[in-house]
Amino acid sequence: MTLTQKILSSHAGLDKVVAGQLIRAELDMVLGNDITTPVAVKEFEKAGFTRVFDKDKISIVLDHFVPNKDIKAAEQSKQCREFAFRHCVSHFFDVGKMGIEHALLPEQGIVTAGDCIIGADSHTCTYGALGAFSTGVGSTDMAAGLATGQAWFRVPSAIKFELTGKLPANCSGKDLILTIIGMIGVDGALYKSMEFTGKGVGNLSMDDRLCVCNMAIEAGAKNAVFPVDEVTLSYLDGRSERKPVIYYADDDAQYDKVIGIDLSKITPTVSCPHLPENTVRAGELRSVKIDQVVIGSCTNGRMEDMQAAYRILKGKKVAEGVRCIIIPATMKIYRECVEKGYITAFIDAGAVVSTPTCGPCLGGYMGILAAGERCIATTNRNFVGRMGHVKSEVYLASPMTAAASAVTGYITEPQE
């Protein structure tokens, strides 16, 4: 079995599962946010459920439109609060202690190696970086999970990515996953597991891995997963609420294909409008003028991302006519940025720093684009109208590329 199949078989109480098999698995965590939880609550109550399966295995994170941007957002958050308080949900995160869900849960140790996790948000696949099975579901599946602690899955087949080498200094996990999506396309891993192996895995930081797994859904994948190694165990040590459970793929595991990737050959990569698969080397876009830069999101709002932006922006100025918005992904990251002087450097450079929020990534607030405007962002999607007007454009890039572009006013390849 593959690593994913090992985790799923264990949670289904089966000795073995095969690709295509329908199983019912026990869940270690059910996640919802301020957009998806209200729908799940409605279905939960409509079905006649009166209690949750386990208050300690549910996470509700208010992050998309929080602090609330309008009356509708306030009503949705209120509904989440009332449900969380009524059922004594242990992991409830509101203003003051919230963060972007897929950065917050790993940081807080709420998810760990060996878990089976569903979340009513497509980027729930992030937690595969810890050696867990995690995938996004609809709000009705979340409702069933809240009540029963179980979910149905069709066991996915897998694509194996054999990593060797080490990323260049001007590249990160974002450049890696954009390169992969450019190679295989937005449906290249449709309902498959993207499983990363090889000696190169050890050269990727946890923030790199979280970023890579986060965007697996942009390749159509059901999930992505990294093996547990010293980097994983070091990250989980003193953080994980529960004891990690470590699974390994069998030596004779079956894969639909094996793709070798030399990390040393990765270059700063940008995804052009209007699909993540439209990737080119950043240096080929130097004539593209930008109006806005966004550094943040569940993909790239972690500490290493803030450090990358700081290294480039310190002592420099954001180009005239460019709006640079920086969003640390959690309150802990925000505080660390304050303590290290990053926030002062960002402000001195002419950037604005926001409280943790998904904000502009999904066209919510804190950076909506007008017709004809271009934004280079460390977010995960660049569909038509994703960040505002249908005639605006979003280019996806790493924090280093985004910060370098903020300084020049044009898409710019960062130097090593």
For residue 196, what is the domain's CATH number? 3.30.499.10
Boundary-marking domain end, from 210, 229, 262: 262
d(CA 361, CA 314): 25
Helix crossing, 331-339 with 342-349: angle to 10°? 80
Integer angstrom CA distances of residue 39 from 184, 266, 382? 34, 41, 25
174/396 Cα distance (integer angstroms): 9
Residue 40: phi and psi, rounded to 5, are -65, -40
What pLDDT does 294 receive? 98
Residues 105 and 82 in one domain: yes
Q: Are residues 258 and 292 in the same domain?
A: no
Determine which helix (DSSP H) or strand (DSSP E) holds 45, and give its type and residue range. helix 37-46
Q: What is the pLDDT of residue 120?
A: 97
**Can you give the pLDDT at residue 350?**
97
Report yes or no on 414 lying in a domain. no
Distance between CA atoms of 173 and 308, rounded to whole angstroms? 12
Q: What is the pLDDT of residue 121?
A: 96
Structure tokens at 375: 């934004």
On whether both 228 and 277 belong to a single domain, the answer is no
Q: Are residues 285 and 258 part of one domain?
A: no
Q: Are residues 14 and 150 in the same domain?
A: yes
Distances (CA, A) of 178 to 53, 200, 255, 278, 411: 38, 17, 22, 9, 16
Whether 249 is in a domain gets the answer: no
Of 226, 47, 27, 63, which is closest to residue 137 (Cα–Cα)?
Answer: 27
* Cut 0.85: pTM above it: yes
Confirm whether 394 is domain-assigned: yes
In angstroms, the CA 72 to CA 62 distance is 14
Whether residue 40 is found in the same domain as residue 172:
yes
76 & 130 share domain: yes
For tokens 């942009």, what's the residue? 218
How high does pLDDT run on average in the chain?
A: 97
The answer to whether position 246 is within a domain reads no
Tally the domains of the chain: 2
- Do residues 189 and 310 share a domain? no
Do both 236 and 280 map to the same domain? no
Domain limits for position 64: 3-241+254-262
Q: Rounded to the nearest 5 degrees, what angle is found at the Cα of 334, between the Cα atoms of 332 and 335?
A: 65
Residue 383 included in any domain = yes
Q: Which residues contact 139 (CB under 8 A, 6 or more apart)?
A: 32, 36, 37, 39, 40, 43, 120
Secondary element (H or E) of residue 262: strand 257-262
> Are 212 and 110 contained in the same domain?
yes
Handedness of CA 179, 185, 188, 189 (dihedral sign): positive
The pLDDT, as a whole number, for residue 98 is 86
Determine the pLDDT at residue 193.
Answer: 98
Same domain membership, residue 166 and residue 74: yes
Q: Which of these three, 262, 297, 318, is where a domain ends?
A: 262
In a domain, 75, yes or no: yes
Q: What is the pLDDT of residue 389?
A: 96
Radius of gyration of the chain (CA): 20
Are residues 365 and 277 in contact, defined by beta-carbon separation less than 8 angstroms?
no
How wide is the angle at C-alpha 374 spanned by C-alphas 124 and 402, nearest 5°?
60
- What residue spans of 149-190 are helical by DSSP H? 173-184
Is 248 a member of any domain? no
On whether residue 415 sits in a domain, the answer given is no
Starting at the edge strand found earlier in the chain, the sheet holding 58-61 runs 91-93, 58-61, 29-33, 116-119, 133-136
* Contact criterion met (CB below 8 Å) for 2 and 193: yes
Tell which of 227, 262, 297 closes a domain. Answer: 262
Same domain as 234, residue 93: yes
Give the Cα-Cα-Cα angle 406, 407, 411 (nearest 5 degrees): 55
Ranges of residues in the chain with a pLDDT under 70 are none
